[in-house]
Each structure stands twice: as C-alpha cells, then as structure tokens.
Structure 1
C-alpha cells in the first residue's frame, strides 16, 4: 500500500484578483473532495493578507494526486486563474513524522 501524499500549495493573487481566486477555489472544492483518493483539500488564507492563499492537501497516494492534477477540476481552476495569479503556485511536499495519536500526530 502506498503512503499518503501531503502537499501545501501557496498562491498569490494579483492585486484586484483576490475575490476571483477565492471564489474559483470555493467553487471547485466539492468536485475535488469527490475525487478518488482525496483525503483533505482545505483552502486557507495567510493571516493578515487578502491575496495569499494556501491549499493544504492530502491524497491517498501519488497516483491519486497525479489523477487530480490531470482532472477536470484542475483544468477549470487553471483556465479561471490563468491571468489572476502573480506566478505559479509554490508546492511544498511534506513527509510525515507521526508522533502520538494517529489522528492528531500527523496530517
């Protein structure tokens, strides 16, 4: 069995595009949550900012993440935000170091 994949993606909206970025991700969330292998897909905003967004993701496997990246929801997000982001998302992959209870010791 493969290990879950945890990804933190940070995106910065161009000035004036903050509402579009937030709206696009909010609208995509239900479809992404329904994708096979999606364990967590949670939108956040960097505290104290209006245009810095952080998506915390957990996928059952690398295959599930790869399918997500090629899926309809990501294509729609890409089209909607093609001109709205200041640059490409910054993706940070994490390796868990589980400590304590499984439900509180790792994402």
Structure 2
C-alpha cells in the first residue's frame, strides 16, 4: 500500500485580491473533498493577516494527488487566481516522523 502524501501549499494574495482568493479557495473545498484519495484538504490563513493562505493536504497516494492537480476544481482555481496571487503557490512536501500516539503525532 502506498504511503500517504502530505503537503502544505502557501498562497499569498496580491493587495486588494484577498477576498477573491479566499472565496475561490473555499468554493473549491467541497469538490476536492469528493475527489478520490482526498484524506485532508484544509484551508487556513496566517493568524493576523488577510492575504496569506495555507492549504494542508493529505492524499492516499502520489497518483491521487496527480489526478487532483489535473482535475476540474484545480483548473477552475488556476483560472480564477491567475492574476490574484503575488506568485505561484509554494508547495512543501512533508514526511512524518513517527513519535508518540500515531493518530495525534501525524497529519
């Protein structure tokens, strides 16, 4: 069985585009949650800011993540946010370091 894929995608809105970015990302969440292999797709904002967003994701496999990236929801997000972000999303892949309770100690 493949290991789950965990990543954090950071997106920064251009000044004045914060509301568009938030609305676009929140609108995509239900569709992404319904995609095969989605274990977690959780939008967060940096505390005290209005324009720094973090998507915490967990997928059953690299293949599931790849299908997500090519899917309709991400195409729509890409079109809607093409001019609204300060730069491309910064994506960081994470490897769990097992420690303590398996449920509480990993995403």
Interval of TM-score (by shorter of Structure 1 and Structure 2): over 0.9
Structure 2 alignment gaps of length 5 or more: none
Q: TM-score under structure 2 normalisation?
A: 0.98
C-alpha root-mean-square deviation of aligned residues, in Å? 0.6
Residue aligning to 1:43:
43
CA distance in 2, matches of 1:70, 1:24: 17
Q: In structure 2, what is the equivalent of residue 21 of structure 1?
A: 21
Give, in angstroms, the shift of residue 96 of structure 1. 0.4
Residue 3 (str. 1) matches residue 3 (str. 2): yes
- 1:1-107 equivalences under 5 Å are 1-107=1-107
Measured against aligned partners, the alpha-carbon deviations of 1:82-103 in whole angstroms (never above 9, x if no partner) come to 0000000000000001212221
Shift of 1:71: 0.3
Question: After superposition, what is the alpha-carbon deviation per residue over 1:54-95, rounded to whole angstroms, capped at 9, x for unaligned?
Answer: 000000000000000000000000000000000000000000
| CA offset digits 1:7-57 (Å, max 9, x no partner) | 000000000000000000111000000000000000000111110000000
- Secondary structure in 2 matching 1:67: helix
Runs of 4+ in 1 over 6 A off after TM superposition: none
TM-score in terms of structure 1 length: 0.98
Q: Distance in 1 between matches of 2:14 and 2:67?
A: 28
- Structure 1 gaps, min length 5: none
User: Per the alignment, in what secondary structure is the counterpart of residue 104 of structure 1?
Assistant: coil
